[in-house]
Amino acid sequence: MEELAIEPRGLFFQQDFVTPAHEAELVRVFREELEWPVRPPGTRLSLHYGYTFDYKTFGVDPNIPFRDFPGWLRPLIPKTVVDPRSGVPKTPDQVCLQYYPPGAGIPPHVDTHSAYDELYSLSLGSAVMMQFRRPPSTATATAGATAESDGKRGGEEEEDAEDKRAELDLLPRSLLELRGDARLHWTHGIKKRKTDTLPDGTVRARQDRWSITYRWLREPARAGEPAECECGNARQCDTAQRRAGIEREYRWKQQELDKQQQETTG
């Protein structure tokens, strides 16, 4: 995978992670063999493997047993996340398969800092534009973001009045990794709309899309203690919020504001 030379830094991208024939077979499996939850038409649907994602804590639910990876999923697991002690590729702890019908999206968010370390996403089916945003006054020092991108933890929050935004075209069969600045300090999301406007002005209709998101749990600094993040971003980081005595509601309120802004800006 190669890092994209754009902001946010820490976006690693690989085109054609699977072949068109493999993609077609996966789509057939998704349509014909999987049992999806029943929700209103046009709604994003999710299936979980490994540990179940907890939408209340944005972590994993330890009370639900680990769900084994099906045969179609195992060949799709990235091999680039390696255990530093053994040098052996690590199996993700949680995998989420999502179906996006045309017009569906996902609110802007940052995956929980203390719960997860690496984050990968494989796109299948229709292409879609993903939006990234770093709100004003929450920028992270370049040194800290660079250290995080290099596999280290750290960074101090600094004031920044600029509201930074970016878009990335998630092409079919492409694999995206979020690391460092992109993973920790920029929100990512997909707007609810049936078309995307490309940089050259072309309007592209959305079709059925599936994504596979891979998450690895962050390891604690000491055995027996909860994992923590050291980025220091009090707006986005649950560890920083907890240390500052900020209530958990802060995260929910900020996400609701981000969602409202997404809906008003189309």
Give the span between the Cα atoms of 161 and 37, in whole angstroms: 42
pLDDT of residue 149: 41
Sequence letter at residue 57? T
Question: What mean pLDDT is predicted for residues 100-116?
Answer: 94
Residue 75, judged by CB atoms within 10 A of its CB (0-12, 13-18, 19+), counts as exposed
The tokens of 103 are what? 């017009």
pLDDT of residue 138: 46
Give the span between the Cα atoms of 125 and 136, in whole angstroms: 34
For 34-70, the pLDDT digits (tens) are 999 999 999 999 999 999 877 777 778 778 889 999 9
Q: Is the pLDDT of residue 146 over 50?
A: no
For 191-205, the pLDDT digits (tens) are 999 999 999 999 999
For 150-185, the pLDDT digits (tens) are 444 444 444 566 889 999 999 999 999 999 999 999
- Could you tell me the domains of the chain? 2-265 (2.60.120.590)
Average pLDDT for the chain: 86
* Exposure of 166 in the CB half-sphere (CA atoms within 13 A): 17
Residue 55 CB contacts under 8 Å (≥ 6 apart), including other chains: none
